[in-house]
Structure 1
Amino acid sequence: MPGSSPGSRKALQGYLRVTADGVVAPNTIRALQKRVGSGVDGDWGPDTTRHLQQALNAGTF
């Protein structure tokens, strides 16, 4: 995640309940995708971004 600090990446990983190592790898992305209801493939694409934005707008993330 360009522009994010290791601390914020670790916080995200803690929220998603994956290993908080500060590296946003496919396991972190899959957990995020599952949490926001997008297709789960471990690759951050437009579907992931759209679902994340919808969850943020709805206050559910």
Structure 2
Amino acid sequence: MSWVANVMISADQADQADQADQADAANVEALSHWLRDEAPRHKQSGVVGVGSLRLITGRDALR
């Protein structure tokens, strides 16, 4: 059985002049890193990495 989840996070990375915007961007990057390199897989002891986050909107989004 496979488990699939979609996560959408709204964080404005375009204008990081505000300290709160910088913190949001850093938190999103940290979550993506954890998902990619540290998150444990369900019922697979010792296996880590379940995916990552990517931009889906904006100028830098992958199309």
TM-score (normalizing by structure 1): 0.29
Instruction: With a CA cutoff of 8 Å and minimum separation of 6, indicate the structure with the bigger relative contact order.
Output: 1
Q: Which has the higher helix share?
A: 1
